Amino acid sequence: MRILIVDDVPDNIRVLSRMLADEGHQISMANNGRQALRVAAASTPDLILLDVMMPELDGYATITALKADPRLAPIPVIFITALADAEDEAHGLGLGAVDYITKPFKEAVVRARVRTHLELKRQRDILAELSTFDGLTGIPNRRALDARLAQEWRRLARSGDTLGMLMIDVDHFKAFNDRLGHLAGDDCLRRVALTLAGELKRAGDFVARYGGEEFVCLLPGVQPEGLAAIAEQLRAAVEAQHIPHEASPTAPWVTISLGAALCQPASDQSPTRLIDAADAQLYLAKAQGRNRASLAASG
């Protein structure tokens, strides 16, 4: 695990670094609050040990800045400080610290508390990861999609690059369930999800289950011809699975319809415009006979 130690006294950093490196942790160091914020942003540590009394930016101001940054706010912070009054401890905990250790500290106490909070963070990380995956298909879920879309929208708004979206629906899925039952329907959705995920080869491409029998792909940096090619690749790959679908009037096996949209994200606009555009194209693909993609550029 990565630990950032922040203290303006070199001896304190040296003792804490030795102690925690012996436990197998990777150690980063900063001797003031401003440097700590830069190091934390660059390395995203799993835990921060933070002194209170430092020049320029003290520990209280530093933790306030950490908690104001959505990327850094989840990092647990333990104050290690000479301020021993109960009011100081209450203030530090009130600002969001998970623990408060007074100096002179005892090595056994520091080791034990660090182990405790790293284990708690590890468990939170596991729960957070599980909460972003769809339990049926094993691919990311709607929550993960919303977070990824917001992240890509901000990033591409800065870079000026494009973002493509494919909205995908399994054709006549209700009829499939009615004919074969929900267990077969679940297996069908798993196979479709794995097929879609397996076909996305570019770095940054992302597929998630949107809900029910719908899936969404995000394709950053794609151009119109590339978007069309990926849509056809996914359509053909699902059809090639030849999952029997006797109740479908479209084909004797499971097929998908796709709605595709492309835009250049802007910081003053919402990503819902891209979702709406892709959803409108999906409606057209269904109206035109299904087992096809309908594409449109969105400005």
CA–CA distance, 21 with 27 (Å, rounded to integer): 7
pLDDT digits (tens, 9 = 90+) for 208-263: 999 999 999 999 999 999 999 999 999 999 999 999 999 999 999 999 999 999 99
Give the residues across from 261 on adjacent strands. Answer: 165, 296
Q: Return the SS3 of 295.
A: strand
pLDDT band at 285 (very low <50, low <70, confident <90, very high): very high
Domain-embedded: residue 135: no
Burial annotation 15-39 (CB, 10 A radius, 16+ → b, else e): bbbebbeeeebebbbbbbbbbbbeb
Measuring CA to CA, which residue among 277, 297, 279 is closest to residue 169?
279
CA–CA distance, 152 with 257 (Å, rounded to integer): 24
Residue 299 has pLDDT above 70, yes or no: no
Residue 297 has pLDDT above 60, yes or no: no
Residue 298 has pLDDT above 60, yes or no: no
User: What's the pTM?
Assistant: 0.68
User: What is the per-residue pLDDT for 155?
Assistant: 93
* Tokens describing residue 23: 């436990």
Q: Are residues 126 and 170 in the same domain?
A: no
Domain-embedded: residue 137: no
Q: Are residues 110 and 180 in the same domain?
A: no
Q: Are residues 75 and 182 in the same domain?
A: no
Which is the catalytic residue, given 89, 152, 213, 239?
213
CATH number of residue 33's parent domain:
3.40.50.2300
pLDDT digits (tens, 9 = 90+) for 27-39: 999 999 999 999 9
Q: Are residues 87 and 224 in the same domain?
A: no
DSSP letter for each residue of 134-188: -TTTSSB-HHHHHHHHHHHHHHHHHHT--EEEEEEEETTHHHHHHHH-HHHHHHH
CA–CA distance, 290 with 244 (Å, rounded to integer): 17
How many distinct structural domains can be found in the chain?
Answer: 2
pLDDT band at 70 (very low <50, low <70, confident <90, very high): confident
Domain-embedded: residue 18: yes
Amino acid identity for residue 114 in this structure: V
Average pLDDT over residues 59-82: 95
User: What is the per-residue pLDDT for 129?
Assistant: 77
| The domain boundary residue, chosen from 75, 102, 130 | 130
Domain holding 125, by residue range, is: 2-130
Q: Are residues 252 and 157 in the same domain?
A: yes
| The domain boundary residue, chosen from 67, 100, 130 | 130
pLDDT band at 296 (very low <50, low <70, confident <90, very high): confident
Average pLDDT over residues 124-128: 84
CATH number of residue 210's parent domain:
3.30.70.270
pLDDT band at 130 (very low <50, low <70, confident <90, very high): confident
Would you call 213 a catalytic residue per the annotation?
Answer: yes
Average pLDDT over residues 138-142: 95
